[in-house]
Amino acid sequence: MIAIVCVDRNWAIGRDNDLLFHISADLKRFKALTTGGTVVMGKNTLLSLPGGRPLPNRRNLVVSTTLSPREGVEVARSIEEAMALAGEDAVLMGGARLYRALLPRCARVLVTQVDAAAEGADTFFPNLDAAPDWAAETVGEWQEENGLRFRYVDYVRRG
Ligand SMILES: NC(=O)c1ccc[n+]([C@@H]2O[C@H](COP(=O)([O-])OP(=O)(O)OC[C@H]3O[C@@H](n4cnc5c(N)ncnc54)[C@H](OP(=O)(O)O)[C@@H]3O)[C@@H](O)[C@H]2O)c1
């Protein structure tokens, strides 16, 4: 499993069950990387999507103990069940709780780093720069969209 996440300078990822930034180049990249495959997410992240609907053209696997069955969504009632259903090529797409739970099962994390400090953020990704078992493998060039600087950094598990 790999994880994809967009973080600010402080590794913040969300506020009020929404994203901190809307960078269309990043969303396009996410779509290209996940279309045709399986995405794994927590219930809050599903509910944060437009209309609370699953992402089209992908298998949407949602981890939740409370979510009632709904069209286009496969529900896993535990992390273990999610792992059993997900398959090796699944992409973990958040949110904070799911990242924390499944990061130990990920070999690679594709991070979009935004050069900003979002105000009022309430959800965070673990700081991989401070984690001894993770290393930045490739660091992309800074790019800019609507005045926001961002770059893609791929982290791999050491060893
Ligand atoms: N920046 C990014 O790249 C990015 C990506 C995705 C999301 N986000 C942001 O992250 C925030 C949401 O994160 P979050 O931590 O609140 O929510 P989350 O991880 O999406 O979902 C949490 C829910 O998932 C279920 N869950 C979690 N662990 C479970 C387990 N071990 N077993 C069974 N169910 C489990 C629980 O639902 P039940 O209560 O139903 O059991 C829990 O309430 C939002 O602000 C969103 O916009 C950011």
Query: Nearest C-alpha to atom 30 of ligand 1 is from which residue?
Result: 78
Confidence of residue 4 (pLDDT cuts 50, 70, 90): very high
Answer yes or no: are the C-beta atoms of 119 and 103 closer than 8 Å: no
Distance 65 CA to ligand 1 centre (A): 12
Query: Could you tell me the pLDDT band of residue 159, with boundaries at 50, 70 and 90?
Result: confident
CATH number of 59's domain: 3.40.430.10
CA 103 to ligand 1 center in whole angstroms: 13
Residue nearest to atom 34 of ligand 1 (CA): 64
What the block records as the tokens of 35 is 């279309």
Looking at ligand 1, which residue's alpha carbon is closest to its atom 16? 44
CA gap 10, 115 in Å, rounded: 9
pLDDT above 80 (res 153): yes
Q: Which domain holds residue 58?
A: 2-157
Which residues are near ligand 1 (CB < 6 Å)?
5-6, 13-14, 17-19, 41-45, 48, 63-67, 78-79, 93-98, 101, 123
Atom 7 of ligand 1: nearest residue by CA position: 95
Percent of the chain with pLDDT over 90: 99
Which residues are paired to 5 by β-bridges? 111
CA 112 – ligand 1 centroid, Å = 19
What digits encode the pLDDT tens for the residues 17-66? Answer: 999 999 999 999 999 999 999 999 999 999 999 999 999 999 999 999 99
Cα 16 to chain centroid distance, Å, stands at 16
**Is cis: bond before 95, omega within 30 of 0?**
yes
Q: What is the pLDDT of residues 85-120, one digit of tens each?
A: 999 999 999 999 999 999 999 999 999 999 999 999
φ, ψ dihedrals at 34, nearest 5°: -115, -20
When divided into structural domains, the chain yields a total of 1
Give the distance (Å) from ligand 1 centre to CA of residue 8: 18
On the 0-12 / 13-18 / 19+ scale of CB atoms within 10 A, 39 is: buried
